[in-house]
Chains A and B, each alone.
Chain A
């Protein structure tokens, strides 16, 4: 079955710096890769997603890149702010878009 690995597990940056989180997946049939932000005690919030027919997608300070050949995808956050501090999860689809396997999460801490 699909396996998603995520690195790093924790990431500390200074406000204004960039943050990069990387994920790899195992199932070449996966075709949808969302990223979620989860704050303490809350459900995950979809922040950006990418489909397999696209190599890169950007939404203001957030961007995601996908390398299908290498089976890895990354989240890039520029000009980080303290409110970006949270746990970020990547995910990959199995059996179509809806069923997701999640990475292990990255705890991002942005210091003022």
Chain B
């Protein structure tokens, strides 16, 4: 299957700082990427849809000023958690697909812990 790389795999930061997570499609170009959030022992919740060259589309209840998404190229999308707080601690996962209307592949996830 397609390879989606996510970095870092885990990060610990102090409350009030910002953290950037990268998602790369290694062997294909992804015009659309998705960012999910997963709390322990819970399901994946879609946060936003990242479109190359345009603004991201956020799901209801997700603060766009807190979770900044940039999709500057066809192989890279970034999620920046700004002014992180302990309640932002979670597992963040990105996904991408080859082309519109095709199956999704997920990155390995980033465990964020905010102290």
B residues 1-40 touching A (CB-CB < 8 Å): 1, 4, 6, 32, 34
- The listed residue (B1, B4, B104, B108) touching A100 by CB distance below 8 A is B104
Is there an interface contact between A43 and B93, defined as CB atoms closer than 8 Å?
A: yes
B binding-site residues for A, Cβ under 8 Å: 1, 4, 6, 32, 34, 41-46, 49, 93, 97, 100-109, 111
| CB-defined contacts of A36 to chain B, threshold 8 Å | 106
Asked if A45 meets B43 with Cβ closer than 8 Å, knowing A98-B32, A98-B100, A98-B101, the reply is no
Is the beta-carbon distance between A105 and B43 smaller than 8 angstroms?
A: yes
B95 nearest CB across to chain A (Å): 8
A98 x B43 contact (CB < 8 A): no
CB nearest neighbor in A for B44: A102
- The answer to whether A49 touches B103 (Cβ under 8 A) is yes
- Distance in angstroms between the alpha carbons of A104 and B44 in the assembled complex: 8
Contacts of B100 in A (CB 8 A): 96-98
A24-79: which have CB < 8 Å to B? Answer: 34, 36, 41-46, 49
A93 to chain B, nearest CB (A): 9
CB distance from B92 to the nearest CB of A (A): 10
Q: From B32, B41, B103, B107, give the contact of A34 (CB < 8 A).
A: B103
Contact check, A43 vs B101: say whether CB atoms are below 8 A apart.
no
Would you call B49 and A99 a contact (CB within 8 A)?
yes
Task: Say whether A103 contacts B104, CB under 8 Å.
Answer: no
Whether the pair B34, A43 counts as a contact (CB closer than 8 A) is: no
Q: A41-B109, A98-B32, A98-B97 are in contact. Are A34 and B43 (CB under 8 A)?
A: no
Q: Which residues of B contact A104 (CB under 8 A)?
A: 42-43
Contacts of A99 in B (CB 8 A): 34, 46, 49
Q: Find chain A residues with CB under 8 A from B49 CB.
A: 99
Are A102 and B43 in touch, CB under 8 angstroms? yes
Of B44, B101, B103, B108, the most chain A CB neighbours within 10 A belong to B44
